């Protein structure tokens, strides 16, 4: 059987580089072939520059030949969501309002750390306009589709990243998560997605959506996510909200298991009524597996009401900020969903904002108290399998209901806790399903450890969509 480097994890690639069984140039070439195969079908990328990518791969190859790689991930292909600045490449944010010919002089912190570590950036991945919704479609580049079923959505807003990783177009990608935007598409596309604790991965420029917005990895394996966290969690003075630098190695202790951990299993969070039967059954099996691995699993709800109103109104305020800074000509170009969100955000009063902030704080306190009793919380990733993909002008869902199908993700953007999604099976149509693992604030390593335990018991990395 022919070995295809596009199917390798980041961990496996670096092992091959170290043993001189393959080179970063070989890996880049394999990823380009996979991109050429899948891009016409899934539309996961909005920009690539192969000449620059190959130059970076050749430089990495020389470092490995000299025995002087910049990091364990030197030479590994990675993609970057098109909300995140990349020096020399346009960041259009899925919007026709942004001029791609303007100077692009800065790398975002996560991108700067990747370059310092020698990773090879293969391109920019698609996003809905300014990341405003949980599907990936925009009026600039169209619809991004799910590699498992081209008629279904990849999710969003990091749908391009999740679809790319699922299709083997690089083992790593960096996305953003403001209400589930890393976890939703990872769940729909059968990958691993981590939303770290807020501030653990520095971001700049600061998001118009404020302190609900996180950056995190899309990968096929937990180990790859841990390795990428070692790179992108390093500090950057441009993010004044970032946490103090934690020099931990996220791969250390990753395989220590979960024996003795206290795990709360909440299949509905106490308020979700639309969980698909296949999702419910698969996630329950994951909870049972955690118990078999030695965790003390108790079915219990955290005890908070649905915080959808808090999420949506805070989000709408961010949309109003974006929209209000545009010219009339730019406003005429945006996704109708952005205009509708902006109009709703403009109606939120200052006293109402203060009340929302207070309610958000109370939710955060409640979850911190909850984690005094439980180490981890396990829930479904998304309440339904991936649904039909649509163009931006084909959605008829009221903006107030646009997150009804992902009620398990946005609460933990409000609380800023680390959370990940892990594949946990398929529905009858062959679509991936996912379990969410939520940890206490700053418990990123614990979340990764639990996910790794689940991965070791029910491996998913060999699952891949058919071409």
457-to-10, 105, 187, 277, 454 alpha-carbon distances in Å: 21, 45, 18, 23, 5
81 is catalytic: yes
Could you please report the per-residue DSSP string of 395-442? ----GGGTTTT-TTTTHHHHTT--EEEEEEEE-TTS-EEEEEEE--TT
Choice among 23, 71, 157, 233 that is catalytic: 157
Examine the residue annotation and report whether 157 is marked as an active-site residue of this protein. Answer: yes
Distances (CA, A) of 298 to 68, 116, 373, 434, 447: 49, 44, 11, 19, 17
How crowded is the C-beta side of 173, counted as CA atoms within 13 Å? 39
From the candidates 71, 79, 81, 173, give the one annotated as an active-site residue. Answer: 81
Report the DSSP pairing between strands 120-125 and 45-47.
antiparallel
Tell me which of 60, 181, 319, 383 is the catalytic residue.
Answer: 181
Which pair of tokens denotes residue 361? 């704080």
On whether the CB atoms of residues 168 and 6 are closer than 8 A, the answer is yes
Computed on alpha carbons and rounded to an integer, the radius of gyration of the chain in Å comes to: 21
**Which two structure tokens, joined as six digits, stand for 275?**
């969980």
Angle at 392 between CA 207 and CA 409, to 5 degrees: 50
* Residue 430: Cβ within 10 Å count: 11
Which residue, 451, 402, 433, 454, is CA-closest to 277?
Answer: 433
Contact 161, 125 (CB under 8 A): yes
DSSP, res 220: S
Distance CA 269, CA 410 (A): 12
Q: Catalytic site residues?
A: 81, 157, 181
């Amino acid at each position: 059987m022919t070995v295809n480097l596009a199917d390798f994890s980041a961990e496996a690639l670096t092992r091959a580089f170290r043993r001189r069984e393959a080179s970063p140039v070989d890996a880049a070439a394999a990823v380009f072939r996979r991109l050429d195969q899948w891009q016409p079908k899934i539309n996961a990328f909005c920009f690539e520059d192969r000449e620059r990518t190959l130059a970076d791969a050749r430089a990495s190859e020389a470092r490995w030949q000299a025995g002087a790689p910049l990091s364990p991930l030197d030479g590994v292909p990675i993609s970057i969501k098109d909300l995140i600045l990349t020096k020399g490449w346009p960041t259009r944010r899925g919007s026709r309002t942004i001029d791609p010919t303007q100077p692009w002089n800065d790398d975002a912190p996560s991108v700067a750390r990747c370059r310092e570590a020698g990773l090879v950036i293969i391109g920019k991945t698609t996003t809905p306009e300014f990341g405003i919704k949980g599907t990936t479609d925009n009026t600039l580049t169209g619809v991004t589709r799910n590699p498992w079923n081209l008629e279904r959505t990849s999710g969003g807003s990091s749908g391009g990243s999740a679809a790319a990783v699922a299709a083997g177009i690089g083992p790593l990608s960096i996305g953003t998560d403001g209400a589930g935007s890393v976890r939703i598409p990872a769940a729909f596309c059968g990958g691993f997605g981590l939303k770290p604790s807020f501030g653990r991965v520095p971001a700049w420029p600061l998001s118009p959506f404020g302190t609900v917005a996180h950056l995190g990895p899309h990968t096929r394996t937990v180990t790859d996510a841990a390795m990428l966290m070692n790179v992108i969690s390093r500090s950057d003075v441009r993010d004044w909200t970032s946490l103090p630098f934690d020099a931990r190695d996220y791969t250390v202790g990753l395989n220590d298991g979960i024996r003795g951990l206290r795990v709360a299993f909440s299949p509905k969070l106490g308020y979700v009524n639309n969980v698909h039967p296949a999702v419910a059954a698969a996630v329950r099996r994951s909870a049972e597996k955690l118990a078999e691995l030695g965790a003390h699993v108790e079915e219990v709800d955290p005890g908070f009401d649905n915080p959808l109103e808090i999420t949506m109104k805070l989000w709408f305020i961010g949309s109003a900020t974006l929209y209000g800074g545009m010219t009339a000509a730019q406003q005429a170009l945006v996704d109708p969903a952005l205009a509708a969100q902006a109009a709703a955000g403009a109606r939120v009063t200052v006293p109402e904002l203060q009340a929302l902030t207070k309610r958000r704080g109370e939710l955060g306190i409640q979850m911190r108290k909850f984690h005094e009793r439980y180490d981890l919380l396990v829930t479904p990733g998304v309440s339904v399998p991936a649904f039909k993909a649509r163009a931006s002008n084909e959605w008829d869902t009221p903006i107030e209901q646009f997150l009804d199908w992902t009620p398990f993700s946005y609460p933990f953007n409000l609380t800023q806790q680390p959370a990940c999604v892990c594949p946990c099976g398929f529905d009858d149509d062959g679509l991936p399903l996912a379990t969410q693992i939520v940890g206490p604030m700053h418990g990123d390593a614990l979340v990764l450890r639990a996910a790794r335990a689940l991965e070791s018991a029910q491996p998913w990395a060999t699952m891949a969509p058919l071409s």
